[in-house]
Amino acid sequence: MIRPVLWRDNAVVLIDQNALPQQYRRVVCTCYHEVIAAIRDLTVRGAPAIGVAAALAAAQGAQGLSGLPPEEFAGKFNGICAEIAASRPTARNLFWALERMKETLAALQAAGSKNPARGLLAEARRICAEDIEINRRIGREGCALIDDGDSLLTHCNAGALATAGYGTALGVIYAAREAGKKISVFVDETRPVLQGARLTAWELKKEKIPATLITDSMAGFLMQQGRIDKIIVGADRIAANGDTANKIGTYSLAVLAAAHGVPFYVAAPVSTFDFSMKTGAEIPIEERAAAEVTGFRDTVVAPKGMQVYNPAFDVTPASLIAAIITEKGVIAKPDARRIGRLSKGDKNK
Ligand code: MRU
């Protein structure tokens, strides 16, 4: 299985997602500062994967605090978590994982733990292992929505690479294939960072799932021709009313899907929901460097000094989403009421 984030020999070991697909190599982060840099520069990316990397980074930082009195340990640990939290603003899973780590420390200290750093590492590894299990459940829940012979479209990479393993949107596709359904996938290249062309294309090829790469602007034409049965994407943060932030370009796809009567699905773990935000308007949208838009890597295409706007995510209104697929069930026609049941732990149908 593709495992983009691992703990090995006191280091956070990542698949270098900037090197794929030309090179498959691992990056070894021996201190939490290196993990922060890897999150920032997209060596590790995708909301759940960022959350797992953040938890392991926090645990790694805690190793250096061993022996400190509880209050000082907690103060310094919270400081480390704040540094990690500043790496990227949009993916809810990053903050969710760090909150869980801080709560774990509080519980360990309340129980009089002599070695909280060890307990924190165990918790971070649990977050990693749980993520794979959650994705498999998302896959099983979403599988029912996919029909034999479906032609699907996905955007960005919400696959194994974007999680601890297996994937969310691609997890549903893998589960459908495991259930014996014959499916094919159109892969949006996903300008400007090309997560679709580089990462989803690589994953689907590796998994031997029939896939065709298109540029983002071709999706509407394919829908008009009736060549897309369903769209399935991941999410970076979902507000309490179901508005969903995901990779830039997702909103345009959802509008096109509505215009052509194509069901538009979001697959995400419960940890991606932000129940503190009433609507998507509150979701912070990351803006990234101009160089991502003026060219790709060493190739510059725009004139020097060109003004650029580069939001990395957009928000799709819940009204355009046919269903949100979670590990706790499928939320059809998501709205605040149906999602509210999820926050209370009920299974949503
Ligand atoms: O900028 P990225 O590559 O981190 O953006 C990733 C996405 O938008 C994914 O679709 C999202 O995080 C879901 S990953 C399961």
The DSSP secondary-structure symbol of 271 reads G
Q: Please check whether residue 349 lies inside any domain of the structure.
A: no
Residue 96 confidence (pLDDT) = 98
**Ligand 1 lined by 200 (C-beta under 6 Å):** no
- pLDDT tens, residue by residue, 150-186: 999 999 999 999 999 999 999 999 999 999 999 999 9
Burial class of residue 340 in the structure, from the number of CB atoms within 10 Å of its CB (0-12 exposed, 13-18 middle, 19+ buried): middle
Residue span of the structural domain in which 52 resides: 5-135
- pLDDT tens, residue by residue, 203-238: 999 999 999 999 999 999 999 999 999 999 999 999
Ligand 1 atom with the smallest distance to the CA of 47 is 12
3-state SS track over 215-253? CHHHHHHHHHCCCCCEEEECCCEEECCCCEEEECCHHHH
Look up the CATH number of the domain holding residue 70: 1.20.120.420
**Ligand 1 lined by 245 (C-beta under 6 Å):** no
- For residue 312, report the distance from its CA to the centre of ligand 1, in Å: 9
Is residue 313 within 8 A of residue 90, CB to CB? The reply is yes
| β-pair type (313-316, 264-267) | unpaired
Q: Quick one: 240 and 321 in the same domain? A: yes
Number of domains in the chain: 2
- Residue with the nearest Cα to atom 15 of ligand 1? 158
For residue 319, pLDDT beyond 50: yes
- For residue 158, report the distance from its CA to the centre of ligand 1, in Å: 6
Q: Quick one: 119 and 180 in the same domain? A: no
**Ligand 1 lined by 48 (C-beta under 6 Å):** yes
Predicted model pTM: 0.97
List the one residue out of 261, 252, 266 whose CA is nearest residue 314: 252
Look up the CATH number of the domain holding residue 267: 3.40.50.10470
Mean of per-residue pLDDT scores for the chain: 97
- pLDDT tens, residue by residue, 76-93: 999 999 999 999 999 999
Q: Please check whether residue 348 lies inside any domain of the structure.
A: no
Q: Quick one: 279 and 336 in the same domain? A: yes
Q: Quick one: 43 and 79 in the same domain? A: yes
Residue 108 confidence (pLDDT) = 98
